[in-house]
Amino acid sequence: MSTFPPVVPTTVEMQEALRRDGDDAKGPLRRFYRGDTLLFPFVVVDRASGAVVDVTGWTFRLTAKFALANPDRQAAFEADNAAGGSGGLTLPDSTKGQVLATIAPAVTQCWADGPERVIYDLQATDGAGVITTVEMGEAVVLADVTRTIGG
């Protein structure tokens, strides 16, 4: 079984444990602003060797929820690269383990004032059908000042 966490970009704050509302998400904390394009970049590396993993042919799914117990159908947002999936996830350079999820501005534009917290994970399915959670973390979407997109 493949075990690998991604190399977390330098813009991401690491925290030992994120404990709110009874959820226990351990991993990076990503901050965004409401109504912005949300970018979730990942680089997949092998935990044992530290080597970048070639993810050519793999499928990935990013799911974010307001509460860990919520069913997937109540996700705050999702992205994947599966055939017939929701889209929004690409592999900029699969030989270098690069995965990028892009969430459109309209998804968070209608969210409430004040910070909105979501717990997310990125799951990978390799060529052999092995499913692995690559990363689990938290994203906070902060209120913005500008309330129009492109206007």
Q: What is the CATH number for 136?
A: 2.60.40
Q: Is residue 88 part of a domain?
A: yes
Q: Is residue 13 part of a domain?
A: yes
Q: What is the pLDDT of residue 147?
A: 72
Residue 17 has pLDDT above 80, yes or no: no
Taking the CA atoms of 25, 132, 142 and 67 in sequence, report the sign of the dihedral they define: negative
Q: Is residue 147 part of a domain?
A: no
Domain hosting 90: range is: 6-142
Q: Is residue 89 part of a domain?
A: yes
pLDDT band at 114 (very low <50, low <70, confident <90, very high): confident
Cα distance between residue 93 and residue 58, in whole Å: 12
pTM, two decimal places: 0.79
Q: Is residue 61 part of a domain?
A: yes
Mean pLDDT, range 10-28, rounded to an integer: 41
Q: What is the pLDDT of residue 47?
A: 84
Number of structural domains, the chain? Answer: 1
Q: What is the pLDDT of residue 28?
A: 83
Residue 75 has pLDDT above 80, yes or no: yes
